[in-house]
Amino acid sequence: MGTAMSGAASVAPQGFELRGWSEQRLALVEQALSRWVVADAPAGLGDAMRYAVLDGGKRLRPLLVLAAAEAVRGNEAAALRAACAVELIHAYSLVHDDMPCMDNDVLRRGKPTVHVKFGQAQALLAGDALQALAFELLAPEDEDGVSATVQAALCRLLARAAGHEGMAGGQAIDLASVGQQLDEPQLREMHRRKTGALLRGSVMMGAACGDIGTAARAALSRYGAALGLAFQVVDDILDVTADSATLGKTAGKDAAQDKPTYVSLLGLERSRALAAGLLDEALAALGESGLPDTRALHALAKMVVDRDN
């Protein structure tokens, strides 16, 4: 499974099979999402919410939550709630991003986007309601065996990752950057917020489901930050190298929209080297965490960098 992009640190963890591990967890996540994103929200709102969330996506963020939670032997009920909550935030951001006043996308994963199918007003509301539902999932009344301390920590981490310091702030930079020349630190800052914050947030939410020391937490934060940036660098590479069919979305879109990317800034080869370096950074951080079993986190980081879509 080693590739030309990854160094010695990224040898696949022995005796660990990501596909089987993921399939088991994804079954739980899909079931939970289907239970929690209710169809009975009024006046078609529930249909739009379910359409936005169910049956789609790689579910990378939920898998990161669950992998981190397992690495810290965290509370399983809390981890499943956190996994679903972070996916709801991701899903709402796609619904709003696709709207005509933003990216004006009509297709996502080969299906009409939410505003095409349900109208712009319903899409706006569905996104808003999905964000609220994410926080509702994190703070259940019956507590589900999840302590108030963990509930509050999860709300804090998700709010920061989603808001102006994180995803929404990154999107604002993205809006302002079309046609602009960004340098590498500016591009990095945009992506740190826009996609990195929620990916790192997923790892930290998983970690918050257990009880670990400051050093392990800091190591997981470094892992999440490196993985988050690597994800975006690879996205930029795939936008240039993959075809639309493999990608499941329109390839070459960044260049067509005159958006700054790692490839436009660094070229393809240096972008690949950057991704490989970030993978090594992420895996080194896992080693420094002192946690006994980080195999799933290890395999997910490799998958992020080695993926072809």
Kindly list the residues in this chain that would bind its own copies in the complex (CB under 8 A). Answer: 38, 41-46, 49, 92-93, 96, 99, 101-102, 119-122, 124-125, 127-129, 131-133, 135-136, 138-141, 147-149, 151-153, 155-156, 158-160, 162-166, 168-173, 175-177, 193
Beta carbon of residue 47, minimum distance to its own copies (angstroms, whole number): 10
Residue 48 vs 304, nearer CB to its own copies:
48
Residue 114 vs 282, nearer CB to its own copies:
114
Residue 76 vs 97, nearer CB to its own copies:
97
Beta carbon of residue 72, minimum distance to its own copies (angstroms, whole number): 18
**Unique residue bearing structure tokens 């993921």:** 22
Beta carbon of residue 29, minimum distance to its own copies (angstroms, whole number): 20
Residue 201 vs 224, nearer CB to its own copies:
201
Beta carbon of residue 213, minimum distance to its own copies (angstroms, whole number): 17
CA 235 to CA 243: how far, in whole Å? 13
Beta carbon of residue 266, minimum distance to its own copies (angstroms, whole number): 22
Residue 199 vs 283, nearer CB to its own copies:
199
Residue 168 vs 273, nearer CB to its own copies:
168
